[in-house]
Amino acid sequence: MLDLNPHNLLDAWWQHLLMLFVSAVLGYIIGYRQGVKHINQIEDQLARLGVELEKCRKSLLVIQPDIIVATLGARDDLKLVEGIGPKIEKLLNTAGIHTFAHLSVTSVETLETVLRNAGPKFRVHDPRTWPRQATLAHEGKWEELERWQRELGGGI
């Protein structure tokens, strides 16, 4: 009935076509199942990312009033504080410190962390006097600030 070597048979071509057809159908079914599985994984990941995006948008709405205040000119020239130059002022602005009032209530540990995170060339700066200087500037005590800065000699 079935010969182990169908090439010797004259009508073996239909057996080859049948094997190709069965292989194609099985390949399609396996590929379809794998594709559906992959699509489901991507849809799950997309849903998780959508939730994270919504959280980010909500947190942006909380932060935006601070950004608006900062962009409307509620900034002080922090370089007036002895020991703060243009680069450190940018670091402080990036950390959210834009005014003398904010700098005056910022802890020395926080300022040291900002400097430490900025790299080794900023670690040599000593921010211990910056909050007190910022307090004097915020209160408009410019003469007292100037007198103290002369005594400081380089922000120390």
Higher-confidence position of 71 and 47: 47
Q: What is the mean pLDDT of residues 105-132?
A: 91
Residues 53 and 90 in one domain: no
Higher-confidence position of 77 and 6: 77
Using pLDDT thresholds of 50, 70 and 90, give the confidence band for residue 84: very high
pLDDT at 78: 92
pLDDT at 67: 52
pLDDT at 30: 94
Residues 93 and 31 in one domain: no
Torsion of CA 53, 57, 60, 62, to 10 degrees: -130
Range of the domain at 65: 14-71
pLDDT at 14: 77
Higher-confidence position of 64 and 126: 126
Q: pTM for this one? A: 0.52
Flag whether pLDDT at 156 surpasses 70: no
Residues 66 and 96 in one domain: no
Question: What type of residue is 86?
Answer: P
Distance CA 112, CA 127 (A): 7
Distance CA 115, CA 128 (A): 12
pLDDT at 148: 86
Q: What is the mean pLDDT of residues 125-146?
A: 91
Percent of the chain residues past pLDDT 70, beyond the cut? 81
Distances (CA, A) of 38 to 33, 44, 51, 52: 9, 10, 20, 21
Percent of the chain residues past pLDDT 90, beyond the cut? 52
Q: Using CB atoms within 10 Å of the CB of residue 16, give its burial: 0 to 12 exposed, 13 to 18 middle, 19+ buried.
A: exposed
Residues 87 and 142 in one domain: yes
> 88 is written with which tokens?
């450190």
Residues 66 and 93 in one domain: no
CA triple 139-141-142, angle to 5 deg: 125
Domain count, the chain: 2
